[in-house]
């Protein structure tokens, strides 16, 4: 009987680990190749992990809620379909030819050792640490005992990415002899941790951090209410939105654009495009095309901030907000949007929107965005003040297209006519984007929309 280790797959270029949300199969269940076996959450998206081979699920190696490093074993599959255990040695002999994503159980000791290194112990205090923080701690050789002393500035004393990186920096700069000459009762704690603890006193103790939350009076509700617990993604969105407002001073500029030419052009081509391609021709790819052109004119919009440095991105990866079946919003992005024509952008937009509605987006779809557009007009809103997607520095909301009477200038004089207008709302990070740049950028996008070439084909 052949036994194969199923490992945590690589789910994106920057994804180093995932949290097991739910096992979809039980021990002893028959599974088909590519059939979903468990649900995994990363810091970007929730996804299902398929079986790398068909057979019987022999053993589950990680439990729901566990944080597992990419490449670590998560389950054992009996590939010949039998559900009876076999001796370890024959299993190792029969499993050298496993699927590429699997590792044969010919080296159990090494696999166990790697798994042990990849995972920190559970915190004794019950303090929560995000997968990103735990990953940084592992890379820097910080034990769970030492991590407990890191002051957290997040909600309920949680350690943020900034907190752990600040601690790592102070840890590297701490004098090597700081702990040696003084034998104090706290000598068993790392020198850098004690130094940080002394500087931040009560905040350095996890127990002290939990105290304010414990003393907070219980909320009381009057009237007929329903209490709905946020799902994991909604909590993650909430944390990121609060963090963005805390980090970036938001400023919003507005421009009203005459998009009559775009409306007339789309009305001319949408039916033919639907028949030819079997897909809808929407306004979104036209908006993205105009934004990509404006970014090339104003490249300092396509930046991010890293401490005291401004990182200018040469790739133009434009994110678009997509509504999930749960009602939450997620932002996949179109890589190198400036290199695609309208037909290519339409294909990309439709693909991301469809996979988003089916919960089929991957972490790579969400990674690497440099600018974001949100179509609030799809909800009938004429304008909005969107929140920046960190670490980007700007985001644009496009409003609903409305007919309005307008003054039309002609060689024979001014006339009153019916035109199609929409508002563009540009929110930007005032740390690095001044009002002149933010205002000129949104005006340039409007110019590209208003000067749309009605003679082009698709």
User: How many other C-beta atoms lie within 10 A of the C-beta of residue 68?
Assistant: 22
Q: Which of 134-148, 167-181, 212-226 has the highest mean pLDDT?
A: 134-148
Instruction: Give the model confidence (pLDDT) of 226-268 as tens digits.
Output: 888 888 778 888 988 999 999 999 999 999 999 999 999 999 9
Give dist(CA 153, CA 246) in Å, integer. 12
190-206 confidence digits (pLDDT tens): 444 444 444 444 444 44
C-alpha Rg value of the chain to the nearest Å: 27
Distance between CA atoms of residues 104 and 2, nearest Å: 9
Judge contact between 105 and 123, C-beta under 8 A: no
Is 430 a known active-site residue?
Answer: yes
Residue of 126, 125, 113, 102 whose CA lies nearest to 49: 102
Q: Cα separation of 84 and 78, whole Å?
A: 9
pLDDT at position 235, please? 86
pLDDT, residue 364, reads: 85
Per-residue pLDDT tens digits for 321-378:
888 777 788 899 999 999 999 999 999 999 999 998 888 888 889 889 999 999 999 8
In sequence order, what are the residues at sequence separation of 6 or more whose Cβ sits closer than 8 angstroms to the Cβ of residue 417? 405, 406, 408
Q: Which of 64-68, 72-76, 151-155, 277-281 has the highest mean pLDDT?
A: 277-281
Return d(Cα 129, Cα 85) in angstroms, integer: 37
Mean pLDDT in residue range 158-168: 81
97 vs 93: CA distance, rounded Å: 10
Q: Which two tokens stand for residue 317?
A: 């990866």
Confidence class for position 155, pLDDT limits 50, 70, 90: low
Neighbours of 224 (CB within 10 A): 5
Give the position of tokens 């995932």. Answer: 18
d(C-alpha 432, C-alpha 55), whole Å: 56
pLDDT-derived band at 4, boundaries 50, 70, 90: confident
The C-alpha atoms of residue 285 and residue 373 are separated, in whole angstroms, by 11
Of 205, 71, 218, 72, the residue nearest 147 (C-alpha): 205
Q: 297 near 456, Cβ under 8 Å?
A: no
Locate all alpha helices (DSSP H) within 248-340, ordered by sequence: 260-277, 284-297
Say which of 29, 34, 315, 434 is annotated catalytic: 434
- In the block, tokens 């900034």 appear at 162
Q: What is the mean pLDDT of residues 288-305?
A: 97
Tell me if residue 313 is catalytic. no
DSSP string spanning 202-230? GGGSHHHHHHHHHHSPPP---SS----PP
- Asked if the model's pLDDT at residue 217 lies above 90, the reply is no
Q: Is the pLDDT of residue 111 over 50?
A: no
pLDDT band at 124 (very low <50, low <70, confident <90, very high): low
Closest CA to 425 of 231, 218, 287, 309: 287
Stretch 89-105: mean pLDDT, rounded? 38
pLDDT the model gives residue 156: 61
Write out the two tokens for 191. Answer: 């020198």
Provide the mean pLDDT of the chain: 80
The Cα–Cα gap between 194 and 178 comes to 9
Range name among 150-154, 176-180, 212-216, 267-271 with the lowest pLDDT average: 176-180
CA distance 105 to 110: 10
Please give the Cα distance from 394 to 371 (Å, whole number): 6
Distance CA 421, CA 278 (A): 29
d(CA 287, CA 372): 11
Report the alpha-carbon distance of residue 364 to residue 13 in Å, rounded: 7
Task: Determine the 3-state secondary structure of 452 from DSSP.
Answer: coil
pLDDT digits (tens, 9 = 90+) for 23-58: 888 888 888 887 888 888 776 667 778 887 888 888
- Percent of the residues in the chain that have a pLDDT greater than 90, as a whole number: 40
Indicate whether 115 pLDDT > 60: no
**Position with higher pLDDT, 210 vs 317:** 317
Among 239, 243, 430, 447, which one carries the catalytic annotation? 430
For the residues 128-134, what does the mean pLDDT come to?
74
Is the pLDDT at 175 greater than 60, yes or no? no
- Looking at 140-149, 308-317, 422-431, which range is the least confident one? 140-149
| pLDDT recorded at residue 2 | 80
The neighbour count for residue 141, using CB atoms within 10 Å, is: 9
Beta carbons of 102 and 52 less than 8 angstroms apart: yes
């Amino acid at each position: 009987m052949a036994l194969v280790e199923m490992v945590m797959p690589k789910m994106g270029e920057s994804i180093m680990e995932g949290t097991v949300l739910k096992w979809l199969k039980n021990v002893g269940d028959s599974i088909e190749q590519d059939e979903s076996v468990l649900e995994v959450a990363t810091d970007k998206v929730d996804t299902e992990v398929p079986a790398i081979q068909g057979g019987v699920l022999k053993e589950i190696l990680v439990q729901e809620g566990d944080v597992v490093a990419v490449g670590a074993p998560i389950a054992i599959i009996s590939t010949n379909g039998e559900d009876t255990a076999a001796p370890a040695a024959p299993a190792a002999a029969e499993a050298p030819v496993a699927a590429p994503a699997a590792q044969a159980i010919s080296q159990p000791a090494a696999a166990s050792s790697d798994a042990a290194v990849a995972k920190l112990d559970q915190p004794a205090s019950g303090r929560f640490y995000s997968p990103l923080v735990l990953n940084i701690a592992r890379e820097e050789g910080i034990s769970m005992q030492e991590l407990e002393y890191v002051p957290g500035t997040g909600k309920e004393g949680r350690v943020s990415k900034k907190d752990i990186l600040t601690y790592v920096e102070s840890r590297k700069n701490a004098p090597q002899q700081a702990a040696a000459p003084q034998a104090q009762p706290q000598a068993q704690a790392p020198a850098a941790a004690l130094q940080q603890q002394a500087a931040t006193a009560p905040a350095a103790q996890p127990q002290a951090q939990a105290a304010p939350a414990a003393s907070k009076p219980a909320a009381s509700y009057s009237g007929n209410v329903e209490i709905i617990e946020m799902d994991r993604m909604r909590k993650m969105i909430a944390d990121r939105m609060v963090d963005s407002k805390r980090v970036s001073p938001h400023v919003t500029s507005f421009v009203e654009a005459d998009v009559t030419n775009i409306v007339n052009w789309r009305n001319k081509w949408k039916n033919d495009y639907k028949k030819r391609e079997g897909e809808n021709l929407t306004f979104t790819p036209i908006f993205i095309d105009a934004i990509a052109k404006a970014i090339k004119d104003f490249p300092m919009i396509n930046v991010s901030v890293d401490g005291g440095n401004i990182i200018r991105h040469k790739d133009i990866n434009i994110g678009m907000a997509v509504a999930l079946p749960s009602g939450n919003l997620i932002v996949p992005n179109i890589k190198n949007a400036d290199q695609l024509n309208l037909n290519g952008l339409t294909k990309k937009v439709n693909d991301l929107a469809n996979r988003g509605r089916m919960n089929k987006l991957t972490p790579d779809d969400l990674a690497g965005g440099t600018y974001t557009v949100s179509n609030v007009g799809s909800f009938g809103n004429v304008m909005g003040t969107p929140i920046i997607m960190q670490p980007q520095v700007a985001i644009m909301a496009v409003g609903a297209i409305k007919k309005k009477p307008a003054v039309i200038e002609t060689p024979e004089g001014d006339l009153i006519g019916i035109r199609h207008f929409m508002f563009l709302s540009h929110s930007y990070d005032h740390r690095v984007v001044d009002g002149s740049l933010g205002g000129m950028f949104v005006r340039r996008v409007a110019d590209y929309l208003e000067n749309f070439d009605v003679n082009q084909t698709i």
